[in-house]
Structure 1
Amino acid sequence: MPIYVYWGEDDFAIEKAVAALCDRVLDPLWTSFNYTSLLPDQADAVIQGLNEVMTPSFGAGGRLVWLVNTTLCQHCPDNVLAELTRTLPVIPENSFLLLTSRNKPDERLKSTKFLKQQATEFREFPLIPPWKTELLVQAVHQAAHSTGVKLTAKAMEVIAESVGNDTRLLYNEMEKLRLYGAASNQPLDVDSVTKLVRNTTQNSLQLAAAIRNGDTAQALATLSDLINASEPGLRIVATLIGQFRTWLWVKIMMESGERNPQEIAKAAEIGNPKRIYFLQQEVKFLSVQQLISILPLLLDLEVSLKQGYSDMTTMQTKVIELCQVARGSRA
């Protein structure tokens, strides 16, 4: 059935998917007649959208009705559910209903279950966790392929490190690289990418590395750069928690006597077993107990930020504590 549900935190990826659907469904000459977008703050937006999608399209192309940031999969009144149940199975073939939301659908709701049954596509657009470097490199490879940019393998790694999981920035940088390399058939190398791609040379993973090494000065400097670059505090903490959890699992498996990289990668939820050797080197001077002690400090920091405490002051204090713990492990 012509029903699409897109959700997730990657706003740019959702925008691209919506644009692709519009291009496929709508005739440019008849868009003003056949395209409707409804915001959640509009009165009876869902009911209005369901009525619109039942209207046959005018002229060429199909009809597209978009419920923007809808809460249907988080909260659905009985009267709306009844209208949804009555309408979705009989939507005309040339009419398309699109629902988007940043929030994860509540699988317990009847509306969510019904939409999953009826939808042509029920798709999540998640942000890649910043510490999953192999997925970030894969995303760079996909973006390069879709934009026609030729890159060396090392250049892709540099781009992944520079832009992280910011999909919008990734495609902006790809467009810049496409224009730069248009006159050449050779893949762009690290030197070219370094000159063109925006990079503060600091990211949350580098902050994690500085904390792991107990380097307080470097950690505070990196934190300052991140905050000045408007990196959200909670996103920084999420990356730190993910990275230290990975290091903890690797260290636990090492202490247990496990030597198989595949088994360690499976336990630590690492996609590429080849990374295990490097992770083992990174935690060589950290004990399991010290890594365990770091995680509650990070969780306390997360709670403080969610309670509204100042990002910079709170994080500076906690980073100093974290570095002391890591430095103590070396002592």
Structure 2
Amino acid sequence: MPIHVYWGEDDFAIEKAVAVLCDRVLDPQWTSFNYTSLLPDQPDAAIQGLNQVMTPSFGAGGRLVWLVNTTLCQHCPDNVLAELGRTLPVIPENSFLLITSRNKPDERLKSTKILKQYATEFREFPLIPPWKTELLVQAVNQAAQTVGVKLTPKTAELIAESVGNDTRLLYNEMEKLRLYTASSTQPLDVDIITKLVRNTTQNSLQLAAAIRTGDTAKALTTLSDLINASEPGLRIVATLIGQFRTWLWVKIMMESGERNPQAIAQAAEIGNPKRIYFLQQEVKSLSVQQLISTLPLLLELEVSLKQGYSDIATLQTKVIELCQVSRGS
């Protein structure tokens, strides 16, 4: 029962996993006969896919049927559910069914339960939260090892700050660095990384810092730089939410009298307790109430952007409001 279910917001990581599966299953000379991808807007895509996966492969290699961005695990009509129940237990050994979706499977649905029962791989590809710097650094080191780029701990941290959780951008930058250092066996230094790697998340963190200090002019200038660099508004908001959430937890723990950096780090979901001292210095001038007041504004900003409001105008308005909160005005 070779069934694979992938879901999550990291589109690039899903694409890489799909490519690996295709290479493993399909023979290049027989791909046109044995590979089918069905988009969700095609009529009866799920039924078609289930019928095709029951067809034995032609020639060498196996058969792969891919249901792209399907809603089977969010909404499954009765006729498709019945077909799933009939098909999944008897899929030929050399036929592979691949199901992908951006949304998390609904564990309550019968279709999800059936797929979990028979799937050989049921895997999530989430985006790393922008504020979890340790996980971002791990992802950078893993990408560097995969591509063949040598980094120092400092340069790995710098790249993580620059690209954030954008996996596609990370691998693009790594490929650029690999080409640049093709004739060298030495690890890359900070100067080269600064010149070559596009910096977006660091600017988002600089935006958060400007808002924290109530510096409206600097915040709007930084925001303008981000927009001019085509940084998506929702990604900017995600970084801001993560940073203000971290600052809030640190401040709450300080106000409660907690002095143990490990305990504060655990509450704030920070992997490195050494960061706590610097975070404490950053929130000294802010009250818990000020930090709490930023969260509804950030939520309103996120909702507005998701509803299609103008990125520039909406971001500028909320950045000004956030700066006012930080200044206590």
Question: Is the pair's TM-score, using the shorter chain for normalization, greater than 0.5?
Answer: yes
Which shifted more, 141-150 or 158-167? 158-167
Superposed CA offset, 1:109-164 (max 9, x none): 11011111111111111111222221111110010011111011111111112211
Q: Give the equivalent residue in structure 1 for 2:83.
A: 83
Contact 1:202–1:225 (8 Å) recurs in 2: no
Matched, 1:110 2:141: no
Q: Give the equivalent residue in structure 2 for 1:276.
A: 276
Superposed CA offset, 1:274-330 (max 9, x none): 22222112112211121122222222333333444322222212212211221239x
Query: Helix, strand or coil: the match of 2:29?
Result: helix
Query: Helix, strand or coil: the match of 1:36?
Result: strand
One-letter amino acid of the structure 2 residue matched with residue 209 of structure 1: A
Contact 1:162–1:199 (8 Å) recurs in 2: yes
One-letter amino acid of the structure 2 residue matched with residue 109 of structure 1: L
Matched, 1:173 2:173: yes
- Rounded Cα–Cα distance in structure 2 between residues aligned with 1:110 and 1:183: 55
Scaled by the length of structure 2, what TM-score is found? Answer: 0.95
- Rounded Cα–Cα distance in structure 2 between residues aligned with 1:138 and 1:202: 17
Aligned-residue offset at 1:71 = 0.8
- Rounded Cα–Cα distance in structure 2 between residues aligned with 1:239 and 1:164: 9
Aligned-residue offset at 1:202 = 5.3
Q: Give the equivalent residue in structure 2 for 1:250.
A: 250
One-letter amino acid of the structure 1 residue matched with residue 228 of structure 2: N
Q: Give the equivalent residue in structure 2 for 1:141.
A: 141
Q: Give the equivalent residue in structure 1 for 2:192.
A: 192
Query: Helix, strand or coil: the match of 2:131?
Result: coil
Contact 2:161–2:202 (8 Å) recurs in 1: no
Query: Helix, strand or coil: the match of 1:97?
Result: strand
Scaled by the length of structure 1, what TM-score is found? Answer: 0.95
Contact 2:214–2:323 (8 Å) recurs in 1: yes
Aligned-residue offset at 1:172 = 0.9
* Structure-2 change in CA distance of 1:200 and 1:85 (3 Å): closer
Superposed CA offset, 1:209-246 (max 9, x none): 11011111110011111222222323322321221111
- Rounded Cα–Cα distance in structure 2 between residues aligned with 1:227 and 1:184: 35
- Counterparts of 1:1-331 in structure 2, within 5 Å, are 1-199=1-199, 203-328=203-328
- Unaligned residue ranges in structure 1 (runs of 5+): none
Q: Percent identity?
A: 89
Query: Helix, strand or coil: the match of 1:277?
Result: helix
- Unaligned residue ranges in structure 2 (runs of 5+): none
One-letter amino acid of the structure 2 residue matched with residue 203 of structure 1: N
CA RMSD of superposed structures (Å): 1.6
Query: Helix, strand or coil: the match of 2:57?
Result: coil
* Structure-2 change in CA distance of 1:260 and 1:201 (3 Å): closer
Query: Helix, strand or coil: the match of 2:328?
Result: helix
One-letter amino acid of the structure 2 residue matched with residue 285 of structure 1: S
Aligned-residue offset at 1:201 = 8.1
Query: Helix, strand or coil: the match of 1:106?
Result: coil
One-letter amino acid of the structure 1 residue matched with residue 269 of structure 2: E
Which shifted more, 9-18 or 308-317? 308-317
Aligned-residue offset at 1:49 = 0.7
One-letter amino acid of the structure 1 residue matched with residue 138 of structure 2: Q
One-letter amino acid of the structure 1 residue matched with residue 166 of structure 2: D
Which aligned runs of 4 or more in structure 1 are off by greater than 4 angstroms?
none
One-letter amino acid of the structure 1 residue matched with residue 73 of structure 2: C
Contact 1:5–1:119 (8 Å) recurs in 2: yes
- Rounded Cα–Cα distance in structure 2 between residues aligned with 1:279 and 1:223: 22
One-letter amino acid of the structure 2 residue matched with residue 314 of structure 1: T
Contact 1:248–1:291 (8 Å) recurs in 2: yes
One-letter amino acid of the structure 1 residue matched with residue 64 of structure 2: L
Which shifted more, 201-210 or 262-271? 201-210
Aligned-residue offset at 1:200 = 5.3
Paired residue total: 329
* Structure-2 change in CA distance of 1:59 and 1:110 (3 Å): same
- Rounded Cα–Cα distance in structure 2 between residues aligned with 1:170 and 1:306: 25
- Rounded Cα–Cα distance in structure 2 between residues aligned with 1:95 and 1:200: 42
